[in-house]
A and B are shown apart, each in its own frame.
Chain A
Amino acid sequence: MGNLDLSFANWELISKFVLNGFYFSVALTAVATLGGVLFGTLLALMRLSGRQALMIPATIYVNGMRSIPLVMVILWFFLLVPLLTGRPIGAEWSAVITFIAFEAAYFSEIMRAGIQSIPRGQVFAGQALGMTYSQNMRLVVLPQAFRNMLPVLLTQTIILFQDTSLVYAIGAYDLLKGFVTAGKIYGRPEEAYLLAAVVYFVICYSLSYAVKRLQQRIAIVR
């Protein structure tokens, strides 16, 4: 074993370098989850609408996003968004837009499976009550689809939290970057990587344990 020295990891380091990055990672995860689920649901509804004009663009978008590495998507948006808007927006905002757009494709696949898991009879029952399409979706189908897919949506959110570390490619200041910066300044990069791994592990493991418990509770109810 080599010579590891973790003594540099004190509260000063954490509050100075790591906390800012942690807040950004959490905020990015939250915004991308909300935006991703919202746009993902719209994409799923488009793909299930039965209208070619809606199905084809949504299918191309989802399959396109899903066949490109996330790092490339991050680089693309960082390059293209300033070209389109005409002014630089910074790595952090670029990351937010990228993750909403990218995660929408993955969440739409989950929501599509969720909507398709609702028995046809539910839709027919809504129609028999005289509900319009939007009422039927809003009051009958989507609430059940969300509930069925909640564990999968949350699992995807944990994956999303891990993937936020890839904003490293454009230099945005996230949790990982916080550790890397601290490691550089204190001259202890290896220890900083290990600490980052421990922090990510603790967060993701606790969250996935919570999701597992939730899954069991939902399973008992039905």
Chain B
Amino acid sequence: MAWDWQVFCKITTDEAQAPGCWAKGADVTYLEWMVHAWGWTLAVAAGAWVIAVTVGALVGTARTLPNSPWAVRLANAWVELFRNIPILVQLFIWYFVVPKMFPAMQQVPGFLLVVFGLGFFTSARIAEQVRAGIQALPKGQRYAGMAMGFTTAQTYRYVILPMAFRIILPPLTSESMNLLKNSSVAFAVSIAELTMFAMQMGEETSRPVEGYLAVTILYVISAFAVNRVFAYIEKKLRIPGFIVAGGTGGGH
């Protein structure tokens, strides 16, 4: 099979080759379209990441609170709800059902709905890791906080969370990479991200292999970049003598 990488220099609306692979005016080449699609993928993933980490940290912490059984129950219910429904179904509900049930949501752009869908889905997984990280700390840490006369909030702020955060960094790394990969599901609700681009370009140009290959490489590069950023953070925050246990297996 012969490669045809020139296909990326084609203008999407006609068969013409754009000089320098970058079309002028309102036209776009497939290369330009792909770069935009990469931007959408990164934007969806970044937006969802902010929501996932914020909500995940709150919910995960709530699950470990002493003397607040209702907060624990509510947080557990949150995790079970968002963890036991496939991401694709959750996206459909955010994109199609929520605007219909709540007319006020019809003004919200589809991109944001997808960000919420992916963010909440991932928040359940991060909450699980935060809970595990907090519970992995020796009980004595909590008692030490109490013995110092700290309130629960202070114990969490000064004793538990700083340590738990470092414990969950390795699983948080792989979950962030998972989030980036899961953003590919947004193709199903017509977000112009990389997977959507790969499918569309494959259909329009009859050169799907080139398109898939380019998109796959962009995903790998993006995931690797996330991995390196987290490795850097982990290194910067490492406390000498405090050995962090790595996460194992599971998840996508």
Which residues of A pack against B, CB within 8 Å? 1-2, 4, 67-72, 75-76, 79, 83, 106, 109-110, 113, 149, 152, 155-156, 159, 162-163, 165-166, 168-169, 176, 189-190, 193-194, 196-197, 200-201, 204-205, 208
A190 contacts which of B1, B97, B208, B248 (Cβ < 8 Å)? B97
Q: Whose C-beta in chain A lies nearest to the C-beta of B177?
A: A67
Q: A113-B248, A159-B252, A196-B89 are in contact. List 19 more A-B contacts (CB 8 A).
A: A68-B181, A68-B219, A70-B184, A71-B187, A72-B195, A72-B219, A75-B195, A109-B248, A152-B248, A152-B249, A163-B86, A165-B88, A169-B188, A189-B96, A190-B96, A193-B92, A197-B89, A200-B84, A205-B84
B232 close to A (CB within 8 Å) = no
Contact of A1 among B83, B86, B102 (CB under 8 A): B102
B208 touches A79 (CB 8 A): yes
Say how far A194's CB is from chain B's closest CB, in angstroms.
Answer: 6
- Would A79 and B209 count as touching, CB distance under 8 A? yes
Sample 11 A-B pairs with CB under 8 A, ordered by A number: A2-B101, A76-B216, A83-B1, A110-B249, A152-B249, A152-B250, A163-B86, A176-B89, A197-B93, A201-B84, A208-B80
Tell me whether A168 and B96 are in contact (CB under 8 A). Answer: no
B73 interface residue, CB < 8 Å from A?
Answer: no
B220 in the interface (beta carbon within 8 A): yes
A169 to B223, CA, bound (A): 22
How far, in angstroms, from A199 to B215 measured CA to CA in the complex? 33
Chain A residue at minimum C-beta to C-beta distance from B185: A71
Choose among B80, B185, B215, B250 the residue that contacts A110 (Cβ–Cβ < 8 A).
B250
Give the residue among B1, B102, B103, B212 with the most A Cβ atoms within 10 A. B212
B249 with A113: CB separation less than 8 A: yes
Q: Which residues of B contact A (CB under 8 A)?
A: 1, 80-81, 83-90, 92-93, 96-97, 100-103, 177, 181-185, 187-188, 195, 198-199, 202, 208-209, 212, 215-216, 219-220, 223-224, 248-252
Q: Is the interface of A mostly helix, strand, loop or mixed?
A: helix
Q: What distance in Å separates the Cβ of B205 from its nearest Cβ neighbour in chain A?
A: 13
A1 CA to B100 CA, complexed, in Å: 8
**Do residues A75 and B249 form an inter-chain contact, with CB atoms below 8 A?**
no
| A166–B252 CA distance with the chains assembled, in angstroms | 13
- Known contacts A2-B101, A68-B181, A72-B215; A176/B88 CB under 8 A: yes
Using known A-B contacts A71-B187, A200-B85, A208-B84, determine if residue A76 contacts B103 with beta carbons closer than 8 Å. no
User: Which listed residue, A4, A106, A169, A197, touches B90 by the CB 8 Å rule?
Assistant: A197
Question: Nearest Cβ distance between residue B233 and chain A, in whole angstroms?
Answer: 20
Let me know if B187 and A169 touch, CB within 8 A: yes
Task: Specify which chain A residues have a CB less than 8 angstroms from the CB of B224 in the assembled complex.
Answer: 67
Min CB distance A177 to B, Å, is 11
Partner of A76 from B80, B212, B223 at Cβ < 8 Å: B212
CA distance A168 to B215 in the complex (A): 19
Q: In the complex the two chains form, what is the Cα distance from A165 to B86 in whole Å?
A: 7
Which A residues are in CB contact (< 8 Å) with B250? 106, 110, 152, 155-156, 159
- Determine if B85 and A201 form an interchain contact, defined as CB atoms under 8 angstroms apart: yes
- Report the nearest A residue to B90, measured CB to CB: A197
Looking at the assembled complex, report how far the CB atom of B206 sits from the nearest CB atom of chain A, in whole angstroms.
12
* Cβ–Cβ contact A193 & B84, under 8 A: no
B80 touches A205 (CB 8 A): yes
Nearest first, the 4 closest Cβ-Cβ pairs linking A and B are A69-B184, A204-B84, A69-B181, A162-B86
A69–B181 CA distance with the chains assembled, in angstroms: 5
Q: Are A106 and B92 neighbours in the complex by a CB distance under 8 Å? A: no
Contact yes or no, A72 B100, CB < 8 A? no
Count chain B CB atoms within 10 A of each CB in A67, A83, A194 and give the residue with the most: A67
Closest chain A residue, CB of each to CB of B97 = A190
With A68-B219, A69-B219, A156-B249 known as contacts, the answer to whether A201 contacts B81 (CB < 8 A) is: yes
Which of B93, B102, B181, B202 interacts with A194 by CB under 8 Å? Answer: B93
